[in-house]
């Protein structure tokens, strides 16, 4: 089983980004990542693939962020963009052959594997962004439905475990960030996944935020709860709210979140 989990479900989903689909571009293969993980950079030190994807937003949101490094993949890395409801979203997709950004072929479920997505959602003010984050915490973090018990994770991280209506959960804090690993429809806490997450967070670090953020992980507790772990991170900075998530590659989601920087710099 993969490392972690995304906010709502533990199931594997399509790589297509939600929202409107942009026309295919003629992004050259130099804007894509090779099997070795190397990339061509341009602009303010961002990978050329990121530059090509962000160019699809006209204009780029004033508070936009994007990863200044990309995770390694087997094959090639391309992207699909969407801008539904004011949210600028980029989904990174690993493919067997070079594919242009926003190619219509990416709408096919067999086109490639979702690596991670990142998005910026502008709000009217910093207060609105914090209000949105408070709502996200209430929706994403499952509440205990029984007694909590202490558990020590990798690196000596102090956590607690408890039953919830959705399954067994492990909760802890990383600075001002709230972290939860939920075993969806399962009664046994996913201690091994929580250990791995704690170690990854200690190594990769978390994005700069105002007042922390949330890291949620969902591990299917049985086959009916899904086929893979998923992961999501959400935080606010100023009047903007940011998300990074993956339904197929949680490790890459953590790496993308740690690499997020103001775009174009």
pLDDT tens-digit profile of 83-104?
876 789 999 999 999 999 999 9
101-110, 125-134, 175-184, 230-239: segment of lowest average pLDDT: 101-110
Span 103-124, average pLDDT: 93
Residues of the chain with pLDDT > 90: what percent? 74
Q: Which residue has the higher pLDDT, 205 or 169?
A: 169
pLDDT at position 37 is 38
Span 208-218, average pLDDT: 95
Average pLDDT, the chain: 85
pLDDT at position 44 is 66
pLDDT at position 65 is 96
CB atoms within 10 A of CB 257: 29
Span 171-182, average pLDDT: 97
Model confidence at 58, in pLDDT bands (50, 70, 90)?
confident
pLDDT at position 29 is 39
Concatenated DSSP letters of the chain? --S---SS--S---SPPSS--PPP----GGGSB-TT----EETTTEEHHHHHHHTTSSSPPTT-EEESS----SSEEEEEEE-GGG-EEEEEEEESS---TT-GGGGSTTS-EEEEEEEEEE-SSHHHHHHHHHHHHHHHSPPBSS--EEEE-GGG-EEEEEEETTEEEEEEEETTEEEEEEEET-SS--HHHHHHHHHHHHHH-----SS-EEEEEEEESSGGG-SS-EEEEEEEETTEEEEEEESS-HHHHHHHHHTEEES--
Span 168-186, average pLDDT: 97
Q: 9 pLDDT exceeds 70?
A: no
Q: 43 pLDDT exceeds 80?
A: no
Q: Which residues, in sequence order, are CB contacts of 170 under 8 Å at separation 6+?
A: 151, 153, 159, 160, 161, 180, 181, 189, 190, 191, 194
Q: Which residue has the higher pLDDT, 8 or 43?
A: 43
Model confidence at 142, in pLDDT bands (50, 70, 90)?
very high
pLDDT at position 111 is 87
pLDDT at position 42 is 40
- Please state the φ and ψ torsions of residue 75, each to the nearest 5 degrees: 105, -130
Q: pTM value?
A: 0.84
Q: 19 pLDDT exceeds 90?
A: no
Report d(CA 254, CA 265) in Å as an integer.
Answer: 21
Place of tokens 């690196």: 155
- Please state the φ and ψ torsions of residue 253, each to the nearest 5 degrees: -60, -40
Residue 226 structure tokens: 């899904």
Q: 207 pLDDT exceeds 50?
A: yes
Among candidate residues 37, 31, 38, the one with its CA nearest the CA of residue 54: 31
């Amino acid at each position: 089983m993969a490392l972690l989990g995304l906010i709502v479900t533990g199931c594997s989903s399509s790589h297509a980004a939600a929202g409107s689909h942009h026309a295919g571009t003629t992004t050259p293969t130099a804007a894509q990542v090779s099997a070795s993980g190397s990339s061509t950079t341009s602009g303010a030190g961002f990978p050329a693939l990121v530059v090509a994807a962000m160019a699809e937003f006209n204009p780029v949101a004033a508070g936009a962020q994007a990863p200044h490094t990309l995770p390694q993949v087997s094959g090639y890395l391309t992207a699909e963009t969407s801008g539904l409801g004011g949210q600028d979203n980029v989904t990174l997709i690993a493919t067997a052959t070079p594919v242009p950004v926003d190619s219509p072929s990416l709408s096919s479920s067999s086109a490639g594997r979702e690596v991670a997505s990142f998005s910026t959602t502008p709000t009217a003010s910093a207060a609105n962004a914090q209000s949105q984050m408070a709502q996200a915490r209430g929706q994403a973090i499952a509440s205990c439905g029984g007694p909590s018990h202490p558990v020590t994770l990798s690196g000596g991280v102090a956590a607690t475990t408890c039953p919830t209506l959705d399954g067994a959960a492990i909760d802890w804090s990383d600075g001002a960030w709230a972290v939860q690993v939920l075993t969806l429809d399962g009664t046994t806490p996913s201690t091994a996944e929580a250990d791995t997450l704690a170690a990854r967070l200690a190594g990769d670090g978390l994005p700069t935020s105002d007042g922390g953020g949330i890291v949620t992980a969902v591990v299917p507790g049985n086959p009916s709860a899904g086929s893979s772990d998923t992961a999501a991170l959400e935080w606010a900075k100023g009047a903007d709210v940011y998300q990074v998530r993956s339904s197929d590659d949680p490790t890459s989601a953590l790496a993308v979140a740690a690499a997020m920087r103001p775009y174009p710099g």
